[in-house]
Amino acid sequence: MKRQSAKRVNIVSLKLVKESSVLYKKRRITSLEDAYKLLKEFLVESDRERFIVVGLDTKNQPTAINICHVGSLNASVVHPREVMKAAILSNAASILVGHNHPSQDPTPSREDIEVTKRLVEAEKIIGIDVLYHLIVWEERFVSLKEKGN
């Protein structure tokens, strides 16, 4: 009988690394408009699609902002696992997520709707509420969750 060699298993730790910070004068997210104004800072000028996760505490105060994914000109493949990873590591009670359409077309894509549905499913299992999912562009936004998507 051939003896199998031992397998080396890495011992790891996870940590959140603070890269920088922004001053949020409003302090709390109390409306879709508040969410839009915060996300707009990170999304409007981008030439590629970006997906942002904002971790919120129990009082809906932003505690962490993560650029979860950067896509191409017209697509971004986002998985709930990556969205929730940022939320869990930042000890978020809830999150708001948003992305841009560099084309400035506000119409939610089939993928946008699917990501929202999958995030809502994940929130039920993990216990981190997704307050809003916004598509943001310069002067307006669309709320996927508010539209029932």
Burial class (CB in 10 A: 0-12, 13-18, 19+), 145: middle
In this prediction, residues 45-57 reach a mean pLDDT of 92
Kindly calculate the radius of gyration of the chain based on its CA atoms and give it in whole angstroms.
17
Domains in the chain, number: 1
Whether residue 76 is predicted with pLDDT greater than 80 in this model: the reply is: no
Q: How far apart are CA 148 and CA 144, in angstroms?
A: 7
Task: Flag whether 67 is in a domain.
Answer: yes
Task: Flag whether 75 is in a domain.
Answer: yes
pTM: 0.87
Whether residue 99 is predicted with pLDDT greater than 60 in this model: the reply is: yes
Alpha helices in 44-109 (DSSP H): 80-89
Task: Flag whether 18 is in a domain.
Answer: no
Per-residue pLDDT, 147: 61
Contact 74, 102 (CB under 8 A): yes
Token duo for residue 29:
């997210």
Closest by CA to 86, choosing from 44, 59, 110, 51, is: 51
Per-residue pLDDT, 104: 82
Element (H, E) at 55: strand 50-56
Task: Flag whether 5 is in a domain.
Answer: no
Task: Flag whether 12 is in a domain.
Answer: no
Domain residue limits at 78: 32-143
Write the pLDDT tens digit of every residue in 8-34.
Answer: 999 988 888 889 998 888 889 999 999
Per-residue pLDDT, 8: 92
Contact 27, 120 (CB under 8 A): no
Task: Flag whether 6 is in a domain.
Answer: no
Task: Flag whether 149 is in a domain.
Answer: no
Q: How far is CA 22 from CA 25, 80, 108, in A?
A: 9, 25, 29
Write the pLDDT tens digit of every residue in 101-133.
Answer: 888 887 898 989 999 999 999 999 999 999 999
Token duo for residue 3:
């003896």
Instruction: For residue 74, give the CATH number of its domain.
Output: 3.40.140.10
Per-residue pLDDT, 135: 94
